[in-house]
């Protein structure tokens, strides 16, 4: 997985990534219905605050959004423990 800094994306590209992620089947778990614009705004806030990251999986050719905490844990486990 490769981190994609959100600041390197154009506003249009960032909006498209966020919208695709939010509207992806099976990702709406909220108990209260919110507008797409509201969800995009909230997710953008999480990115700007550093609590969420955009990552690209080159094996699957797909983009995901994850928490910074989960990304750091993944990086720590992928750096060690491999006896190739």
Split into its structural domains, the chain has a count of 1
Judged on CB neighbours under 10 Å (0-12, 13-18, 19+), 77 is exposed
Residue 54 in contact with residue 17, Cβ under 8 Å? yes
Length of the chain: 84
Asked whether residue 84 is domain-assigned, the answer is no
Range of the domain at 71: 2-79
Residue 50's domain is classified under what CATH number?
1.10.10.610
Asked whether residue 18 is domain-assigned, the answer is yes
C-alpha span between 44 and 72 (Å, rounded):
19
Give every residue of the chain whose pLDDT is below 70, as ranges. Answer: 25-31, 76, 78-84
pLDDT at site 44: 93
pLDDT at site 12: 94
Predicted TM-score (pTM) of this structure: 0.74
């Amino acid at each position: 997985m490769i981190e994609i800094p959100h600041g390197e994306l154009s506003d249009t590209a960032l909006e498209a990534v966020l919208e695709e992620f939010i509207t992806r089947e099976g990702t709406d778990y909220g108990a209260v219905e919110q507008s797409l614009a509201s969800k995009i705004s909230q997710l953008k806030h999480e990115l700007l605050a550093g609590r969420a990251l955009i990552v690209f999986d080159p094996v699957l050719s797909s983009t995901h959004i994850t928490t910074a905490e989960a990304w750091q844990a993944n990086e720590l486990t992928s750096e060690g423990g491999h006896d190739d």
